[in-house]
Every structure is written in C-alpha cells, then in structure tokens.
Amino acid sequence: MRKPIQILSLSLLIQSALTFCGPSGENKDRGYIVKVGDAAPEFTMQLTNGKTVSLNSLRGKVVVLQFTASWCSVCRKEMPHLEEEVWLPNKDQDFILIGVDYDEPLEKVKAFAKDMGISYPMALDPGARIFSLFSHKKSGVTRNVVIDREGKIVFLTRLYDTEEFEAMKEKIEELLN
C-alpha cells in the first residue's frame, strides 16, 4: 500500500514543479507577481534618513528598487556590486537606486547599510508591504526591479547572477542615454 502513495506523492511533486517551473527547471515568474511591461505599483516609503518618498515622485528618473535584508547572504554578495557598478557611476544622472529592506527596524537597517559600506538610500518596508506589491511575500529577497522614467517595469532580477546583473547594467545604461 505504501508504494502507490509514494508514487502519487512523487507524481504530484513533479507536476507542481513543472507548473511552477519551465521545462528547463527555471522558475517562470521567480516569485514575482509583476512582469516586464507592467506599470510599477504606486507606494510610499520611508527612507532611513526620515524622508518619505513616493514612487510617483520619482517619475522622470530611472529607478532601481533593490529588495534586500541584513540576514540575506546573497544580498550581501550583491550590494558591493550595486554600489560600485550601478550607484556610483549613475548617481549624478536622473537615476535613483533604493535598497528596500524587508521588514527590519530602522536601527538594524542603518547598521546594515553602514556594515555593507553602501551610500545609496535605504528604505524601510514594515511587514514587507512594498515587497508584496512586486513579489509573493514568501518568495525571497535579493531581487532588483528596474523602472523607466514613465514608471514602467523594464527589468527584473532574482538572486545574484553575474550575467543577469550585467544585462541589468546594460538596460540601465540604455535608459539613461
């Protein structure tokens, strides 16, 4: 009797994996509920310096939202690259990169930014409210959302993949030129 249950369990597991992933095994949506071409959802966020910023107020700029958290090792791997290769070369243009920290308190986020040596702005995301506008709440951080000057999503990343990161940098450069 145990064998049919195991076969059924394995069959259901394979079926759900194929539904969630493409034939290559790569996750089709990678946890996102938005896609390239969508208008970015409107929200307001509080930066660690106390200022409040709405996404609408950033229209006319190329925006990168980096969803991150202090406990995320992949985020920590990616952040120096964002600082050196994305933020510093573009910060004096119509460009903004904001680290959106997943549900951590202000002092922890400030310490995280200092520890990572980043100079780009960080925002608080209590209850992962902003994160859940873009991704399934349990889908994990280490993701970047690139938004064009009109507020349209033009690039999405997940985890830190050097090829994908380079493609994101090229997209940002294209949007700024």
pLDDT of 64-115, one tens digit each?
999 999 999 999 999 999 999 999 999 999 999 999 999 999 999 999 999 9
CA distance 165 to 144: 9
Query: What's the pLDDT tens digit per position in 111-134?
Result: 999 999 999 999 999 999 999 999
The residues near 118 (Cβ < 8 Å, ≥ 6 apart) are 79, 80, 82, 83, 87, 99
- The model carries a pTM of 0.83
